[in-house]
Structure 1
């Protein structure tokens, strides 16, 4: 293969990756938004059966809130929760809504990993590790807010940018994981 042919082939692969990444990201992120509207009473596409039996958004909220409350309690605070709220007694009140779930960054990670040309084993491994890492970071964010704002009462009204801070930290972690994964997945195989 001539250098020109190799360059053309590499360009085709790159374009295919970018197109697949874009399509998958739109599918995942907009699919999650649509499903959220399907499961939200009063919304245009609300479907009671899906909301009652297939509500993964509420399942993710609960899967984030319960361990976060355990961590908050481990720091000596008394905390109570319901399906979307955490109340730290003598501390902050935290509401976990759709934008707190990390589904946007999860959608990006899943789209990137699935679009990247790697073995299915490597892809599956990175997908699982990446999604679990985002989930754990999100639990730590919710628990951290509860604990820190419980200790520093004067800061409760000042810390309004926790979503942006969380997104920056998570994207740094995701890009770092992707960098090492790509580096490992792109190594030429020994013949």
Structure 2
């Protein structure tokens, strides 16, 4: 049995990278949330997670503005007047999916740094736009979702991971074709 070093390297970088980035995000949340490891300087000046949450809320309010909907927001929630709302907790931010995208950009073999950076930037932007849309839809249809008992987190994660698997397949096929041409 021949060991495929490229596939093993891909798998190891993907898994280890995912755990590294995922635990980094959790660690940073711990630094910026009062209690435990709290570091006031990080909370006041380096809390990119809060900034990302505000960006998601702001993006959702842009959709509300486009449809002429009135809304209320605060640091962690969006409420669409007459429809419903959502509290955006850490699990809503999607740092697990962002972690896998970051690890994937490092793991895929035979890619130029430029291609890795472009993949990372566009995949995170794409994911963020999908997340903004999801937060708007869940807020708009919150009363229906509660009645139907839909777990939008799981549904959204399955959808995103499916897109990631399709992306992995596409990127590896592209890489294989480039190697054949070389």
Using structure 2 for the length normalisation, give the TM-score.
0.90
Higher Rg of the two aligned structures: 1
Q: Is 2:94 the counterpart of 1:102? A: yes
Extract unaligned runs of 5+ from structure 1: none
The answer for the alignment partner of 1:190 in structure 2 is 181
Q: Is 2:113 the counterpart of 1:120? A: yes
**1:90 positional shift:** 1.8
Paired residues of 2:53 and 2:88 also in contact (CA < 8 A): yes
Moved over 6 A (4+): none
Ranked by relative contact order (alpha carbons within 8 Å, sequence separation 6 or more), the top structure is 2
Aligned length: 180
Superposed CA deviations along residues 9-29 of structure 1, whole A, max 9, x for unmatched, are: xx1222222222221111100
Q: Is 2:6 the counterpart of 1:18? A: no
Q: Is 2:66 the counterpart of 1:79? A: no
Aligned partners of 1:155, 1:129: CA distance in 2, in Å?
A: 30
The answer for the alignment partner of 2:148 in structure 1 is 158
Cα RMSD (Å): 1.8
Aligned pairs for 1:31-70 (under 5 A) are 31-42=24-35, 44-70=36-62
Aligned partners of 1:147, 1:164: CA distance in 2, in Å?
A: 18
Extract unaligned runs of 5+ from structure 2: none
Distance 1:25 1:122, change over 3 A: same
Aligned partners of 1:159, 1:77: CA distance in 2, in Å?
A: 25
